[in-house]
Amino acid sequence: MDQNSLPPIQTTARDDAVLKALVSFVRAEALQPGERLPTERILAERLKVSRNTVREALTRWEGLGLVERRQGSGTYLKAAVSHDMLHMPLTLAGGNDFTSLMQTLEIRRALEAEAAALCAERASQADIAEIARKLDIMEQAFRTRDGMSSEEDWEFHQAIYRVSGNPLFEQIIAAMHELFHRFWEHPLGVRDFGHASFPYHRTIYDCIAARDPEGARHEALKLIATVEDDLKRGAAKLKLSSQK
Amino acid sequence: MDQNSLPPIQTTARDDAVLKALVSFVRAEALQPGERLPTERILAERLKVSRNTVREALTRWEGLGLVERRQGSGTYLKAAVSHDMLHMPLTLAGGNDFTSLMQTLEIRRALEAEAAALCAERASQADIAEIARKLDIMEQAFRTRDGMSSEEDWEFHQAIYRVSGNPLFEQIIAAMHELFHRFWEHPLGVRDFGHASFPYHRTIYDCIAARDPEGARHEALKLIATVEDDLKRGAAKLKLSSQK
DNA sequence: GTGCAGAAATTGGTTGGACCATTGGACCAC
DNA sequence: GTGGTCCAATGGTCCAACCAATTTCTGCAC
């Protein structure tokens, strides 16, 4: 007997019902990310529930990053929603030291390599053109400012994740990216951080354009290796300066 | 001019403040997962905020799986909490179940291989002995029941993640694992699911014991490949049966 | 004393109404 | 145009009450 086939019944699930209704609404109105959805008061009235219940439901969506609420302005859709969404909330116990940063890089190394390989396998001509565009923008920003630009660099990588066809890559790496940057603001250490990684962006692209998964994988590994080296150099410098 | 140096200020963040206070409380009381935390009413009174605000905060935590609320009983801690937590809500939208499962496997393939390699690099003699113990238990369970045992199998893998020295592996893969099992309850399809993966557990262990990172990586990839094959077979079977 | 049914207290879930803080547009003086 | 001021809309917070599920207590039968 499989007791899992008898899920507990839900006598009250008002807020879940609200979210289901909201999904239907978004579908019916074909709302795109960025667009505003109805007022809390209107939703409460239309759905015949209290505004508080509507708020609890929206709070859940906000926590999942599906929606953004701006006081005085409204509630805005942040991502596509559907009935068969699977939520997999993952909370990581962060850390702000050198070890934690290295750990995020270990994860990123594994995922970045796989994403690059999958991307090389699955990229269409249009995809390749899009990645090339992002690469050009990044390289130009690098030349004009003579240094890595976090923004354009990140755009380039995101394009690769997207083409990999698996949204999880972008989501997980984005979290690692954020964790990494959260302790990065202060200029602790190496001035030309990321400089060494620059050439590998193009080599990765070349492999993708040539539909060479293994090549892309190896170039991605090299790129992450340069970042790890930078981090180690920064840590060594920091230790040195704190000793004196 | 770097506009990133002017982040938007945050004037009101009541519920965030509530959660911060709650983290401190859990730390101070050394609450373990499973224990009950104070009533909503008590929290509201102590923190000098409305019960509504407390509820919004708890709703957030509930959505992240940090807490479980039982009407009439209380609110219970479900996981460890800390100040520097990073929330990573992963949402797998769109596609059917098969697609989603394959996507989780792509992530797991990348991480599993890296974890196995790192494990082979860093394992101490005691670590290797511990993994061997888990392997024995698993193999025995396999023989007595003539089939893969999810529980013991998972224990074995977790031991590897732990020895890798990076807790992120276990956390992320655990999320994938849970999602995978959520759709697995009903016996839809292949009866000897996971059977093919059995021998690779020992080959992975052998590589780890021999301190052979690249070997461990390749054996781990082979293991995931068998799971992917099983999944594809199951999907094909399902499609076939739904056609008739 | 033991066991059990029913009452009572506890606790999360919901409601409705009120007010505050922020936003964004309309309007106006300069 | 620019810069203010006002105002309506909207999310954020609060309060007080009641509902629904659960737990605990009480008292009676045995």
The pLDDT confidence band at residue A164, using thresholds 50, 70 and 90, is very high
Among B82, B84, B166, select the one facing A103 at the smallest CB separation.
Answer: B166
Among A2, A12, A92, select the one facing B168 at the smallest CB separation.
Answer: A92
Which residues in A lie closer than 8 A to residue B106 (C-beta atoms)?
A: 114, 118, 166, 168-169
Q: Where are the alpha helices (DSSP H) in B36-96?
A: 40-47, 51-63
Which bases along strand C come within 7 Å of a protein CB atom?
9-18, 21-24
Query: pLDDT value at position B115?
Result: 96
Distance CA B61, CA A56 (A): 12
N-terminal to C-terminal alpha carbon distance within chain A: 69
Nucleotide with smallest C1' distance to residue A58 CA: D11
The vertex-A159 CA angle with B229 and A90, nearest 5°, equals 60
Q: Is the pLDDT of residue B185 over 60?
A: no
Cβ within 8 Å, pair B89-A94: no
Among B60, B71, B182, select the one facing A63 at the smallest CB separation.
Answer: B60
Measure, in angstroms, how far nucleotide C28 C1' is from residue A128 CA.
Answer: 55
CB A43 within 8 A of CB A54: yes
pLDDT tens-digit readout, B129-167: 999 999 999 998 888 876 667 788 999 999 999 999 998
Distance CA A169, CA B103 (A): 9
- In this prediction, residues B84-101 reach a mean pLDDT of 78
State the smallest CA–CA distance between residue B210 and chain A in angstroms.
22
Query: pLDDT value at position A127?
Result: 94
Query: pLDDT value at position B51?
Result: 94
Cβ within 8 Å, pair A91-B65: yes
**Closest Cα in chain A to B118:** A106
State the smallest CA–CA distance between residue A211 and chain B in angstroms.
19
CB B37 within 8 A of CB B18: no
Helix, strand, or coil (residue B149): coil
Mean residue pLDDT across chain A: 85
What pTM, to 2 d.p., does this model score?
0.81
Query: pLDDT value at position A183?
Result: 66
| Most confident stretch, A43-52, A173-182, B179-188 | A43-52
The pLDDT confidence band at residue A17, using thresholds 50, 70 and 90, is confident
- In this prediction, residues B18-38 reach a mean pLDDT of 91
State the smallest CA–CA distance between residue B60 and chain A in angstroms.
6
pLDDT tens-digit readout, B193-232: 778 888 999 999 999 999 999 999 999 999 999 989 888 8
Query: How many DSSP H helices and E strands does chain A contain?
Result: 9, 4
Query: pLDDT value at position B92?
Result: 80
- Exposed e or buried b per residue across A35-68, where buried means at least 16 C-beta atoms within 10 angstroms of its C-beta: eebbebeebbeebebeeebbbbbbbbbbbbbbbb
The pLDDT confidence band at residue A11, using thresholds 50, 70 and 90, is low
Query: pLDDT value at position A3?
Result: 38
Q: Is the pLDDT of residue B99 over 80?
A: yes
Which region among A112-121, B90-99, B116-125, B168-177 has the lowest average model confidence (pLDDT)?
B90-99
Closest C-alpha among B213, B102, B197 to residue B156? B197
Contacts of B36 (CB under 8 A, 6+ apart): B74, B75, B76, B77
Q: Is the pLDDT of residue A133 over 90?
A: yes
Distance CA A137, CA A148 (A): 12
- Strands A74-77 and A86-93 come out as unpaired
The pLDDT confidence band at residue B175, using thresholds 50, 70 and 90, is confident
Torsion B77-B112-B236-A121 (CA) sign: positive
Q: Strand C closer than 7 Å to the CB of B69? A: yes
Sheet holding B36-37, edge to edge: B36-37, B74-77, B67-70
pLDDT above 90 coverage of chain B, percent = 55
CB B88 within 8 A of CB A89: yes
Mean residue pLDDT across chain B: 85
Which residues in A lie closer than 8 A to residue B2 (C-beta atoms)?
A: none
B27 versus B241: the higher-pLDDT residue is B27
Q: Strand C closer than 7 Å to the CB of A40? A: no
Contacts of B132 (CB under 8 A, 6+ apart): B205, B209
- In this prediction, residues A68-78 reach a mean pLDDT of 93
